[in-house]
Amino acid sequence: MDLTTIVQILDSMMRLSTPLIFACLAGLFSERAGIFDIGLEGKMLASAFFSAATAAVTGSVLLGLLAGLTAATLLAMVHGVASITFRGNQLISGVAINFLASGFTALIGQNWFQLGGRTPSLSGDGRFLPVDLPFVETIAGIPFLGKLYGELISGHTLLVYLALPTVLLSWWILFRTRFGLRLRAVGENPEAVDTGGLSVSALRFQATLICGLLCGFGGAYLSTGMAAGFIRDMTAGKGFIALAALIFAKWRPGYALCACLLFGLLEAIAIRYQNIEIEGIGTVPLQLMQALPYILTVIILAGFVGKAIPPRAGGIPYVKER
Amino acid sequence: MTAIPRWADVILVPLLSLLLAFLLSGLVVLWIGENPLTALFIIVKGSVGSPYGWGYTLYYTTNFVFTGLAVAVAFHAKMFNIGGEGQATLGGLGAALVCLAVEWPHWLLAFPAAVIAAALFGAAWAAVPAYLQARRGSHIVITTIMFNFIAFALLVYLLVHVMKPPGQMAPESRPFPPGAHLPTAHEMLAWIGIPFSKSPPLNVSFLLALVACVLVWLLIWRTRLGYEIRAFGHSETAAVYAGISPVRIIMLSMLISGGLAGLMAVNTVAGEAERLLIDSVQGAGFVGIAVALMGRSHPIGVLCAAFLFGILYQGGAELEFEMPAVNREMIVVIQALVILFAGALDNMVRLPVERLFAMVRREAS
């Protein structure tokens, strides 16, 4: 494996990790506040559809992004109303949201564009285009760094560059601000937060809202950044991989980034090599690579490699004493 | 909290949820620019308006009874088995391996063998998440989701690399021997002289589904194990105090649940396709969630809800022909809304009903 191949694989890892990072951070906010969310997938899908559809009709990717964020946030609010206001089962609500997004986008997509559930191909201002960072030309001459900078670091879309600062920002919000402290408290011990005179519902709704927005970014990136348009069920389990990454990272932002990069790398390798030959072991089939994030997560969950302990009040509706 | 009469809990609340789901779906159809009542008429006519329609409707019903019962049994132990999809995938693998293993002389031998294999494979796939939940406290919902994806990857691998006959393009196994052919409704009804449409894939598995309903009812309400499962589901601490082992209940309820989900594949793999295809589950594992929620985890409720979804799936296919603007995905939307209203927003429907009953009671006294 030469340098070019490695750079190409890492480059595709960056692109494939981006939606995972957004969705994983979305889950982080929600679950840290005590709201389980297995509807990341559905929210991303809804955002992917509405951003691509809006971008296709208006020709503006920013309007598309706005539409995507709105769609994902609306679904997040449904989840909030079901699991906070009506104290319903958060997991069942998540399942419903996934189906709602999957069915609704395919139904409306076919109805609007008659392309078998796809949106028209986006071009020009209709999608996020690669951004060339400064000095690519200048450094290009330097043997190793030039390639690394020019092909790996430069030339991604805006949303990819947005993903990394978002990780930092999430960490800062969750662990260095008063709001973050309260958010984490509401996920561990809502009674204490309530006793402190804060509204558990309001905090949880805020977390759900942030979750929706972040899913919106992830979904918009899928259809307007990574691809040039929406195709049916294009999230293809990415929301669940993000969920897996969240558990893998044990609900911590820095580790979440690493987990998302790892799962992105696995996907990049699986796409590049259909079957991998490893000396002495034999062929590693493509399907094993695809299943690896899930298998790793089960192993982590099983507690064989350090135990993954979710926020203590996760999944339990808060009932104020009457 | 004011209690509501049993009939309201079992019938009124689910029906109200269903009504809400249908109303919203109707609005969606209206928004698309079609008449929702016409759509409803096409669905009903296409599903129960002809022997052909009935054949398909009951075929789908069979799938949903199994997956619905699977989710329901787990619900009784307060377990949310979202892995029906994966367990049914493995069940299909088990049924296929058995059907392909020998030249079956007669279906009376092949059928029970396929049933046992499908149930065992399905149960085995549920066993790992169940064990991890029981022993290591790993959340069953997450592990079963992960196992769905792993099951699918495993199936694709086996079909592409192992079970596909050499020289064939499509990733599917070779056809089952003729002796493993399960009698269809057409053939079975012909024995007693009733003519029935030839094309629907409705087969003997439907009777198995009915038997499964009875057996699950007996298990949950007439056996010691069922009592323990329900006790555990109501209160784990009380169950432990009564000497019920959580590990045993989690394992057994999930194994039964996985086995039931696996049985679903007997209908699609051995009954319809008569070979192992890449997508023999067709989302039935997820429909099972909606069915169990609608049916309040009771076999009779599950049977009714499964029939309702059978109508929706068959009628939805007809709808696509007659009303091209409303495609099949409409059914997924309805399914999502049913899960939302009957499951997650249960309290939204229940609280007004409870208030109403409390009011009526106050007036009466």
Provide the residue-wise pLDDT of chain B in tens; the chain has 365 residues: 457 788 888 888 888 988 999 999 999 989 888 888 998 999 999 999 999 999 999 999 999 999 999 999 999 999 999 999 999 999 999 999 999 988 888 899 999 999 999 999 999 999 999 999 998 888 888 899 999 999 999 999 999 888 888 888 888 888 898 888 888 888 888 888 888 888 889 999 999 999 999 999 999 999 999 999 999 999 989 999 999 999 999 999 999 999 999 999 999 999 888 889 988 888 888 899 989 988 889 999 999 999 999 999 999 888 888 887 788 888 889 889 988 998 888 888 888 888 888 888 888 87
**B162 and B224 together in one domain:** yes
Residues B188 and B290 both lie in one domain: yes
Same domain, residue pair B17 and B58:
no
Local structure of residue A59 (DSSP, 8 states): S
Please report whether residue B39 resides in a domain.
no
Which run of H or E residues covers position A282?
A: strand A282-284
Kindly list the residues from chain B whose CB atom is less than 8 angstroms away from the CB atom of residue A40.
none
- Looking at the fold, whether B170 and B312 belong to one and the same domain comes out as yes
**Is the separation of the CB atoms in B243 and B264 below 8 Å?**
no
Q: What range defines the domain where residue B364 resides?
A: 1-34+325-365
Among A106, A117, A291, the residue with its CB nearest the CB of B149 is A291
Domain ranges, residue A87: 3-242
How far B91 CA sits from the closest chain A CA (Å)?
19
Give the nearest chain A residue to B148 (CA atoms).
Answer: A294
Q: Judged by CB atoms within 8 Å, which residues 58-97 of A form the interface with B? A: 78, 81-83, 86-93, 95-97
Put simply, whether B335 touches A (Cβ < 8 Å) is yes
Q: Is residue A290 part of a domain?
A: no
Domain count, chain A: 1
> What sign has the CA pseudo-torsion B227, B228, B230, B234?
positive
B329 shares a domain with B313: no
CB-CB under 8 Å, B138 with A298: yes
The closest of B117, B78, B110 to B95, measured between CA atoms, is B117
User: Is the complex ipTM higher than 0.90?
Assistant: no
In chain B, positions 17-76, which contact chain A (CB-CB < 8 Å)? 28, 32
Residues B239 and B90 in one domain: yes
Chain segment A294-305, per-residue pLDDT in tens: 888 888 778 766
Residues of A numbered 164-223 whose beta carbons fall under 8 angstroms of chain B's beta carbons: which are they? none
For B1, the closest chain A residue by CA position comes to A322
- B11 and B62 inside one domain: no
> For residue B30, which amino acid is it?
L
Residue A248 belongs to some domain of the structure: no
In a domain, A255, yes or no: no
> Do B78 and B237 contact (CB within 8 A), yes or no?
no
Kindly state whether residue A151 falls inside one of the protein's structural domains.
Answer: yes
Instruction: Say if residue B24 is in the same domain as residue B65.
Output: no
Tell me if B333 and A38 make a contact (CB, 8 A cut-off): no
Query: In this structure, is residue B41 part of a structural domain?
Result: no
pTM across the whole model:
0.89
Residue A66 covered by a domain: yes
Q: Given B295, B317, B339, which residue is the final one in a domain?
A: B317
Task: Report yes or no: B278 at the A interface, CB cutoff 8 Å.
Answer: no
Over residues A158-174, mean pLDDT? 93
Q: A166 in a domain, yes or no?
A: yes
Q: Is residue A195 part of a domain?
A: yes
Averaged pLDDT score across all residues of chain A: 87
Based on its alpha-carbon atoms, the radius of gyration of chain A, rounded to whole angstroms, reads 20
Helix, strand, or coil here: B203?
A: strand
Which DSSP symbol is given to B104? Answer: -
Residue B260 makes CB contacts below 8 A (sequence gap 6+) with B66, B67, B69, B70, B73, B119, B122, B212, B216
Select from B138, B293, B332 the Cβ nearest to the Cβ of A102: B332
A14 residue type, one letter: M
Interface of A with B in 17-46 (CB under 8 A): 38
Specify whether B253 is located in the same domain as B232.
yes
Do B354 and B253 fall into the same domain?
no
Residues B145 and B24 reside in one and the same domain = no
| Number of structural domains found in chain B | 2
Contacts of B128 in chain A (CB under 8 A): 298
Residue B46 inside a domain? The answer is no
**Among the partner residues A92, A110, A240, nearest to B344 by beta-carbon distance:** A92
| Touching B: A residues 271-310, CB under 8 Å | 285, 287-288, 290-291, 294-295, 297-298, 301-303, 308, 310
Query: A146 at the B interface (CB within 8 A)?
Result: no
Of B82, B149, B325, the CB nearest to A95: B82
Contact B299, B196 (CB under 8 A): no
Distance separating the N- and C-terminal Cα atoms of chain B: 18
Task: Select from A168, A169, A195 the least CA-distant residue to A182.
Answer: A195
Q: Does B133 touch chain A (CB under 8 A)?
A: no
Residue B357 burial by Cβ neighbours in a 10 Å radius (0-12, 13-18, 19+):
middle
Q: What pLDDT is attached to residue A274?
A: 67
Percent pLDDT > 70 in chain B is 99
**Smallest Cβ distance to A295: which of B139, B150, B332?**
B150
H or E stretch covering A272: helix A253-272
Q: List the 228-247 stretch of A: residues with Cβ below 8 A of B.
A: 237, 240, 243-244, 247
